[in-house]
Amino acid sequence: MHATREEAPSSVSSEEIARFSALADKWWDPTGPMRPLHAMNGLRIEWASRHLPLRGRKSRKPHVLDIGCGAGLASEALAKAGYDVLGLDASANGIAAAQAHLEANPLPAGSGTLHYRQGSAEELVAEHAKFDAVMALEIIEHVTDPEAFMVMLAQLVDANGTVIVSTMNRTLRSLAVGKIGAEYLLRLLPVGTHEWRKFIQPSELGRYARAAGLRMVAISGMAPGIGSWKETRDLGINYIAAFKKD
């Protein structure tokens, strides 16, 4: 699982990085190609906050790693919610856009800290980095090996820590709505954003987690609502899950 800078990190798909790097300068436009992420971000952060640890070691603020942070949409929201956050992404363009947005929009008083880093999860594993919580939002369906990726998430979280993953279920409904509808009919996402065969069923995610030493403690569906997304029991398209490392 250890990688050097000369090796291609196993979780990183160069094709996926190139695709999202090309969108970096439009990431923060709520009406642009990332508008579905803007619409669901409030729900993602609110749901995650219910399952993240309230305090880190020695009563400090919990230290949260946001893997695949893109231009920092979730990272900024987590910091504003009071967490100390490291946003990690393999895209130099994404990290540059994240840093530029943060510099132009300083965090309000009472926020946690926020730092960004370009790199891979493998690099942090090699450094023996540990976090109170690890977030992987809409990223696992884009990595080269989701089962190995879950192992890395487990390696990066402290004992009794929390891992939160959001992704898309591989169902006929997600093919119709999340792929064909969102990309080709409604143009909510750029064509090619998702590969339906790489969507992950909850049973598969649970199996990957158990093999990595993680225990699922909560799971909910996410669905578009009026003005914002809502939590639902329907896991048929988008869903979010929390895991504990025992």
Q: What is the CATH number of the domain that holds 153?
A: 3.40.50.150
- In angstroms, the CA 195 to CA 133 distance is 28
Q: How many CB atoms lie within 10 A of CB 185?
A: 10
Query: Is 194 a domain residue?
Result: yes
Question: What would the 3-class secondary structure string for 163-201 be?
Answer: EEEEEECCCHHHHHHHHHHHHHHCCCCCCCCCCHHHCCC
Domains in the chain: how many in total?
1
Query: Is 63 a domain residue?
Result: yes
Query: Is 195 a domain residue?
Result: yes
Q: Is the per-residue pLDDT at 6 higher than 50?
A: no
Query: Is 8 a domain residue?
Result: no
Per residue in 49-70, pLDDT (tens digit) is 999 987 776 677 899 999 999 9
What's the predicted TM-score (pTM) here?
Answer: 0.89
Query: Is 6 a domain residue?
Result: no
Parent domain of 198: 14-245
Percent of the chain with pLDDT over 70: 87
CA distances from 151 to 31, 88, 156, 163 (A): 35, 17, 9, 11
Asked if 85 contacts 75 with a C-beta cutoff of 8 angstroms, the reply is yes
Per residue in 128-184, pLDDT (tens digit) is 999 999 999 999 998 999 999 999 999 999 999 999 999 999 999 888 877 666 655
Over residues 184-204, mean pLDDT: 76
* CA dihedral sign of residues 67, 193, 240, 42: positive
Query: Is 72 a domain residue?
Result: yes
Q: Is 89 annotated as a binding residue?
A: yes
> pLDDT higher for 17 or 89?
89
Q: Is 137 annotated as a binding residue?
A: yes
Q: Which helix (H) or strand (E) holds 49?
A: helix 35-51
Query: Is 152 a domain residue?
Result: yes
| CB neighbour burial string for 46-56, b if at least 16 within 10 angstroms, e if fewer | ebbeebbbeeb
CA distances from 193 to 36, 51, 77, 180 (A): 12, 29, 23, 11
pLDDT in the model for residue 181:
61
Q: Which helix (H) or strand (E) holds 166?
A: strand 157-168
Query: Is 2 a domain residue?
Result: no
pLDDT in the model for residue 192:
61
CA distances from 228 to 64, 87, 119, 179, 225 (A): 25, 24, 31, 20, 5
pLDDT in the model for residue 18:
75
The identity of residue 49, as a single letter, is S
pLDDT in the model for residue 67:
97
Q: Say how many CA atoms lie within 13 Å of 14 toward its Cβ.
A: 3
Confidence of residue 230 (pLDDT cuts 50, 70, 90): very high
Q: Is the per-residue pLDDT at 186 higher than 80?
A: no
Confidence of residue 29 (pLDDT cuts 50, 70, 90): very high
Residues with Cβ within 8 Å of residue 119, at least 6 apart in sequence:
88, 90
pLDDT in the model for residue 80:
97
